[in-house]
């Protein structure tokens, strides 16, 4: 059985036909996709949905385990094929090649460690791990026994870990003692220990030793990964899950308040991520696929682990950073591993495009066939640099638009099959029904003319998030109340006369910095903790490399004057509560913030000032304090 090619559409005509069928009769379409997987019991009902509640259920009555689809079913035909190639931070350390059979054994073995430590189906397990194969093993081991993984990106602060653990009452935390990142070594265990002071639900901490350094361990709570393996047996039958059982929680920033724990379920997520992986990337059996994202983001979940493994592909995991030992590292790895499919983010492309081209030309990139982009709109300049210098004008670029909430790719070219166009994510994949809404909430019909509006989706797709953990009301509010019976993406988009989409960016208060979604509200909350600070407003402004950077407007208590120490302390506060990625590039001290009469800060105006676009600030007459604007402009940075 060839798991990689059995779902692939092979021509533009085939795509168009499949798309039409998927719209006319979505259930029959998704039935035929789902039929290609291994189920213990086939589903009774393909889809039940109601966007007003909102409730979405796919493949109800179906019984399966996603790890049997990622591992067991490949053993006969692909057992000796490499599943994961791990490339360490240090180019002199050896890569690891793990076959499907080896991965199957490791996952089963570690699944028994979880069981031995009291983890059962439905329990939540927090993973705070570096990019090492053990992260993949731990997440799959959770899925094997029906435990719910909640992966927290290993660049987040202890406060961020604690709030995520507490939100979903995780019973266990899995981490590593240290992590290498370029020339730096970060002690993850120490950060965890700080978080663990405020996480009463955690009973056990499993620590993987990535380095030989001594590790502080708390007796009765902390155990070593390796010691636990010695006590565990190696065979672990997969827990049989309902299609709608929870597979994982992944937190994403919201525009207000605390991060949202997006809940993904088993059957639909598997079907959706695998189908999109196979189609968008069009891998051949011997191809080598590398997605540079961290597994702590949805891109890593769906397109380093679940999608590629369910498809029987070889997937690369890279521990390091693009700049170490020099800015040629990505290209050196492509050359060394003969990478055929390379998937990265515009922010990385922009950073690498700033480096001497010599760093590209030193490496042989002839193995490359397909390039991918994800995370934010890719600008024209970056697109051409990527196309000319990396793809040598010979590799289609798949600009894949999707979200943590969508689980899988929604709008994207299909490599070599559907046309690409610079800066356009192009056409919806089969089963995806995007629409554009105007300011008044009316749908902009697909006519033979261009349109611009807010992007919504009008029909469910299998890999969509089902709820926000512990807060279904918020799920409804954020995604299903802007437009009745439609999923609202939070993005703006442009559509040309032939139906190609270009995503223009967020329309709410989330800023994407270097591809990381950052809610401005939690950053403001962190800044406001400072005793000298009254309030603050954080907005994004365009940045050459990061895509967007953060600009903080801060008001101080009377009698306190701005100084460098304050600036430093603000950055530290943000770094501590959210992470270094959220530190503002610019901090301006102001005597007041522009506000509406109901007291809401007018971030729209602050965004324009931060972007040095002050010619038309729009209607400021509704402001409580319009006189403040000129003061802010004249002191802007
Ligand atoms: C996969 C991921 C989601 C937000 C989304 C957009 C932006 C992502 C593209 C893009 C333009 C793209 N999940 N976004 N991909 N914008 N073109 N190809 O990034 O939850 O972290 O972010 O990212 O604004 O709403 S995410």
- Would you say 430 and 485 are in contact if contact means Cβ atoms under 8 Å apart? no
467-468 and 260-265 as β-strands: parallel, antiparallel, unpaired?
antiparallel
Q: Residue 624: pLDDT above 90?
A: no
| Greater pLDDT, 524 or 75 | 75
Say if CB 234 and CB 204 are below 8 A apart. Answer: no
Of 68-72, 457-461, 630-634, the one with minimum mean pLDDT is: 630-634
Which residue has the least CA distance to atom 12 on ligand 1?
A: 401
- Is 50 exceeded by the pLDDT of residue 1? no
> Residue 625: which pLDDT band, with cuts at 50, 70 and 90?
confident
> Does the pLDDT value for residue 461 go beyond 90?
yes
* Angle (CA) 577 578 583, round 5°: 105
Q: What is the pLDDT of residue 81?
A: 98
User: Which H or E run includes 275?
Assistant: helix 266-281
Q: What is the pLDDT of residue 2?
A: 47
Q: Is the beta carbon of 276 within 6 A of some atom in ligand 1? A: no
Q: What angle do CA 295, 301, 304 make, to 5 degrees?
A: 75
Q: Six-digit token pair at 622?
A: 């509704």
**For residue 257, is pLDDT > 60?**
no
Report the phi/psi class of residue 41: left, alpha or beta, with left for phi > 0 and alpha for psi in -120 to 50: beta
- What is the number of other CB atoms lying within 10 angstroms of the CB of residue 431? 25
CA atoms within 13 A on the CB side of 230: 4
Give me ligand 1 centre to Cα 422, in Å. Answer: 16
Cβ distance 375 to 548 under 8 Å? no
490 lines ligand 1 (CB under 6 A): yes
Residue 223, strand partner residues: 206
Return the residue whose CA atom lies nearest to atom 7 of ligand 1: 376
Residue 262 has pLDDT above 90, yes or no: yes
Q: Is the pLDDT of residue 521 over 80?
A: no
Q: Do 68 and 90 form a contact (C-beta atoms < 8 A)?
A: no
With a 6 Å cutoff on the Cβ, whether 492 touches ligand 1 is no
Average pLDDT, the chain: 94
C-beta of residue 554 within 8 angstroms of C-beta of residue 570: yes
**Nearest-5° Cα angle at 315, 313 to 316:** 160
pLDDT at site 16: 98
Cβ of 536 closer than 6 Å to ligand 1, yes or no, is no
Whether 425 has a pLDDT exceeding 50, the answer reads yes
Considering only CA atoms, which of 469, 441, 467 is closest in space to residue 456? Answer: 441
CB under 8 A, 24+ apart: contacts of 616-620: 620/594
CA of 384 to the centre of ligand 1 (A): 20
b/e burial code for range 173-185 (CB count within 10 A of at least 16 → b):
bbbbbbbbbeeee
Q: Which of 378, 512, 516, 519 for a ligand 1 pocket mutation test, highest count of atoms within 8 Å of Cβ?
A: 512
C-alpha 146, offset from chain centre: 22
What would the pLDDT profile of 145-156 be if each residue is shown by its tens digit? 999 999 999 988
Helices (H), 184-243: 188-196, 225-230
User: Does the structure show a pLDDT above 80 at 506?
Assistant: no
CA 551 to ligand 1 center in whole angstroms: 21
pTM of the model: 0.88
Question: How many of the other CB atoms lie within 10 Å of CB of 128?
Answer: 28
Q: Is residue 399 helix, strand or coil?
A: strand
Residue with the smallest CA separation from ligand 1 atom 8 is 375
For 435-498, give the secondary structure using H, E and C. EEECCCCCEECCCCCCEEEEEEECCCCCCCCCEECCCHHHHHHHHHCCCCCCEEEEEEEEECCC
Ligand 1 atom with the shortest distance to the CA of 404: 20
Instruction: Name the residue with tokens 């000129």.
Output: 630
Cα-flanking dihedrals φ and ψ of residue 343, to 5°? -125, 115
The DSSP secondary-structure symbol of 237 reads P
Residue 504 pLDDT: 82
Do 86 and 96 form a contact (C-beta atoms < 8 A)?
yes
Q: Is any atom of ligand 1 closer than 6 Å to the C-beta of 512? A: yes
CB of residue 548 inside a 6 A radius of ligand 1: no
322 touches ligand 1 (CB under 6 Å) = no
Residue 515 has what pLDDT? 87
pLDDT of the residue at 622: 61
* Burial class of residue 578 in the structure, from the number of CB atoms within 10 Å of its CB (0-12 exposed, 13-18 middle, 19+ buried): buried
Token output for 167:
């939100």
Average pLDDT over every residue of 324-353: 94
Q: ω into residue 570 within 30 of 0, thus cis?
A: no
Q: What is the pLDDT of residues 545-572, one digit of tens each?
A: 999 999 999 999 888 999 999 999 999 9
Q: What is the pLDDT of residue 566?
A: 95
User: Would you call 298 helix, strand, or coil by DSSP?
Assistant: helix
Query: Residue 430 has what DSSP assignment?
Result: T
pLDDT level of residue 598 (50, 70, 90 thresholds)? low
CB atoms within 10 A of CB 28: 11
Ligand 1, residue 252: give the atom nearest the CA: 20
**Average pLDDT of the segment spanning 607-630:** 82
283 versus 529: which is more confidently predicted?
283
Establish whether residue 423 lines the binding site of ligand 1, counting it when its CB lies within 6 angstroms of any ligand atom. no
Q: Which atom of ligand 1 is nearest to the CA of 505?
A: 24
4 has pLDDT over 80: no
Report pLDDT digits (tens) over 355-390.
899 999 999 999 999 999 998 888 888 899 999 999
Tokens 């793990």 label which residue? Answer: 98
Q: Which of 147, 127, 73 is nearest to 103 (CA)?
A: 73
376 Cβ inside 6 Å of ligand 1 = yes
Higher model confidence: residue 355 or residue 398? 398
- Give the angle subtended at the CA of 139 by the CAs of 134 and 143, to the nearest 5°: 140
| Termini Cα distance of the chain | 61
* Cβ(377) – ligand 1 distance below 6 Å: yes
- pLDDT category, 528, cuts 50, 70, 90? confident
Across the range 413-440, mean pLDDT stands at: 96
DSSP label at residue 303: I
**Lowest-confidence range among 4-8, 284-288, 448-452, 528-532?**
4-8
What is the three-class DSSP state of 293? coil
The candidate with the shortest Cα–Cα distance to 311, out of 133, 146, 66, is 66
Q: Per-residue pLDDT for 256 more than 60?
A: no
> Ligand 1 mean position to 311 CA, how many Å?
23
Would you tell me how many other CB atoms lie within 10 Å of the CB of residue 365? Answer: 19
Task: With CA atoms as reference, report the closest residue to 499 among 20, 3, 112.
Answer: 20
Better pLDDT: 278 or 439: 278
């Amino acid at each position: 059985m060839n798991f990689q090619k059995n779902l692939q559409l092979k021509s533009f005509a085939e795509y168009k036909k499949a798309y039409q069928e998927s719209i006319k009769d979505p259930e029959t379409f998704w039935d035929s996709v789902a039929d290609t997987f291994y189920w213990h019991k086939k589903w009774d009902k393909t889809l039940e949905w109601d966007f007003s509640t909102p409730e979405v259920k796919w493949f109800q009555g179906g019984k399966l385990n996603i790890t049997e689809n990622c591992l067991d079913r490949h053993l006969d035909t692909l057992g000796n094929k490499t599943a994961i190639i791990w490339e360490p931070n240090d180019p002199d350390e050896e890569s690891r090649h793990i076959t499907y059979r080896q991965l199957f054994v490791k996952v089963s073995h570690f699944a028994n460690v979880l069981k031995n430590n009291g983890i059962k189906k439905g329990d939540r397990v927090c993973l705070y791990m570096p990019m090492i194969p053990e992260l993949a093993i731990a997440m799959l081991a959770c899925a094997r026994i029906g435990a719910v993984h909640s992966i927290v990106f290993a660049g987040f602060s202890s406060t961020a870990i604690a709030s995520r653990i507490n939100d979903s009452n995780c019973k266990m935390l899995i981490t590593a003692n240290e992590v290498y990142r370029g020339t730096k070594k970060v002690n993850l265990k120490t950060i965890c220990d700080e978080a663990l002071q405020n996480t009463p639900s955690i009973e056990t901490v499993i620590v993987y030793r990535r380095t030989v350094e001594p590790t502080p361990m708390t007796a009765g709570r902390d155990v070593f990964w390796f010691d636990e393996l010695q006590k565990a047996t190696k065979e672990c039958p997969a827990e049989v899950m309902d299609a709608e059982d929870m597979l994982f929680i992944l937190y994403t920033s919201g525009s207000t308040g605390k991060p949202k724990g997006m809940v993904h379920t088993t059957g639909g997520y598997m079907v959706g991520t695998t189908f999109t992986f196979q189609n968008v990337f069009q891998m051949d059996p011997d191809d080598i696929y590398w997605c540079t994202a961290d597994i702590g983001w949805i891109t890593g979940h769906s397109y380093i682990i679940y999608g590629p493994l369910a498809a029987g592909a070889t997937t690369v995991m890279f521990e390091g950073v693009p700049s170490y030992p020099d800015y040629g590292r990505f290209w050196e790895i492509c050359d060394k591993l003969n990478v055929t499919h390379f998937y990265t983010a515009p922010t990385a492309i922009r950073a690498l495009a700033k480096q001497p081209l010599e760093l590209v030309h030193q490496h042989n990139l002839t193995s490359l066939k397909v390039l991918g982009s994800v995370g934010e709109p890719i600008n024209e300049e970056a697109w051409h640099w990527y196309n000319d210098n990396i793809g040598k004008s010979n590799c289609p670029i798949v600009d894949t638009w999707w979200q943590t909430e969508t689980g899988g790719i929604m709008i994207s070219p299909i490599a070599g099959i559907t046309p690409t166009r610079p800066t356009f994510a192009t056409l919806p994949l089969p089963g995806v029904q995007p629409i554009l809404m105007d300011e008044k909430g009316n749908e902009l019909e697909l006519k033979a003319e261009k349109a611009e509006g807010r992007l919504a989706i009008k029909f469910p797709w299998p890999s969509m998030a089902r709820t926000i953990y512990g807060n279904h009301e918020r799920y409804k509010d954020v995604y299903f109340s802007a437009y009745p019976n439609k999923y609202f993406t939070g993005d703006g988009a442009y559509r040309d006369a032939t139906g190609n989409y270009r995503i223009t960016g967020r329309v709410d208060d989330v800023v994407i910095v270097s591809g990381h979604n950052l809610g401005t509200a939690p950053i403001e909350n962190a800044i406001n903790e400072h005793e000298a600070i009254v309030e603050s407003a954080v907005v994004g402004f365009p940045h050459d490399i990061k895509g967007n950077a953060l600009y903080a407007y801060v008001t101080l208590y009377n009698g306190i004057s701005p100084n460098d120490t304050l600036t430093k302390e603000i950055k530290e506060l943000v770094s501590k509560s959210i992470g270094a990625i959220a530190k503002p590039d610019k901090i301006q001290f102001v005597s007041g913030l522009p506000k509406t009469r109901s007291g809401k800060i007018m971030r729209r105006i602050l965004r324009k000032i931060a972007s040095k676009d002050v010619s038309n600030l729009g209607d400021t007459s509704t402001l409580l304090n319009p006189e403040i604007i000129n003061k802010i402009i004249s002191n802007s940075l």
